[in-house]
Amino acid sequence: MALLEIKNLGISFGGLRAVDNFSITIEKGQLYGLIGPNGAGKTTIFNLLTGVYKPNAGTILLDGNNITGKKTVDINRAGIARTFQNIRLFKDLTVLDNVKTGLHNSHPYSTVAGILRLPQYFKVEKEMDEKAVELLKVFDLDKEKDTLASNLPYGKQRKLEIARALATGPKLLLLDEPAAGMNPNETAELMDTIRFVRDNFDMTILLIEHDMKLVSGICERLTVLNFGQVLTQGKTADVLHDPEVIKAYLGE
């Protein structure tokens, strides 16, 4: 059974059909890319998948469960986490505490235990600290765990946002232009990190990206979106050599 199945998804804003009849199937463990020109509707689809917008039409199934139109928090608990095109960290919190915010659903303690600092509070906090450091080691950020997120270099802020998303324990990770603003060396390192996450966290990944080197290097399948509609879908090599894709995406 597919991990994610979207059927005929659609949404309109002020009479404009931003996404129309969008369908996609992603198998467990796939690295899948969603590409297209600016304004094609890619981030809108991520917003529909994560409950930021409610669709006017269509169905979203995650692991066979209908999550269409649910609240963001419920979708996250169901197993979808994301990063954003414009980084959204808690910049006044430390690197460690940013990751810990993603762990609270799986490491709860009562309000009373937190206020009174009961033994349960210290036990759970210790468990979260240990888990957060484990995740930070994956991204080579553990030595900066006490640094404010706002003081990290740009590329490391990108990595921290992925680490925080993973802390929620997702089945599906959505990456919205993870290589945006990165130099070639940072992008190459990011590609290795994404592969590591997929292989070692049993993760399925759907990413939006404009860096075609990254897309061709890690994505197994692609969907090309144009004017809110699917232009084509298929294996990455086939899609990237499709004349219609070249014309729509590169403007040639």
Domains of the chain plus CATH, in order, are 1-79+171-252 (3.40.50.300), 88-169 (3.40.50.300)
The answer to whether the CB of 45 falls within 8 A of the CB of 34 is yes
Helix (H) or strand (E) run with residue 48 in it: helix 42-49
The span from the CA of 190 to the CA of 139, in Å, is 9
The amino acid sitting at 83 is T
Reported as a pLDDT band with limits 50, 70 and 90, residue 118 is low
- Residue with token string 């994610």: 4
Give, in order, the Cα–Cα distances in Å from 143 to each of 8, 140, 148, 182: 46, 7, 12, 21
Give, in order, the Cα–Cα distances in Å from 75 to each of 44, 66, 130, 183, 218: 16, 10, 26, 33, 26
Report angle CA 154, 169, 201 to the nearest 5 degrees: 80
Lowest mean pLDDT, pick from 9-18, 123-132, 169-178: 123-132
Please give the backbone phi and psi of residue 81, each rounded to the nearest 5 degrees, phi first. Answer: -130, 160
The span from the CA of 35 to the CA of 15, in Å, is 24
Tokens describing residue 78: 């169901």
216-243 tens-digit pLDDT: 999 999 999 999 999 999 999 999 888 8
Q: What is the pTM of this model?
A: 0.90
How many CA atoms lie less than 13 Å away from 8 in the CB half-sphere?
A: 3
Higher pLDDT, 35 or 109: 35
> Is the pLDDT confidence value at 178 over 60?
yes
Concatenated DSSP letters of 189-212: HHHHHHHHHHHHTT-EEEEE-S-H
> Is the pLDDT confidence value at 110 over 50?
no
Cα radius of gyration rounded to whole Å, the chain = 19
Q: Going along the chain, which residue ranges are E strands?
A: 4-13, 16-26, 31-35, 57-62, 65-66, 80-82, 172-176, 204-208, 221-226, 229-235
What pLDDT is attached to residue 212?
A: 87
> Is the pLDDT confidence value at 43 over 80?
yes
Cross-strand partners of 136: none
Q: Going along 98-211, which residue ranges are E strands?
A: 172-176, 204-208
How much is the mean pLDDT over the chain? 89
Helix (H) or strand (E) run with residue 112 in it: helix 111-116
Reported as a pLDDT band with limits 50, 70 and 90, residue 248 is low
Q: Which SS3 state, helix, strand or coil, does residue 143 take? A: helix
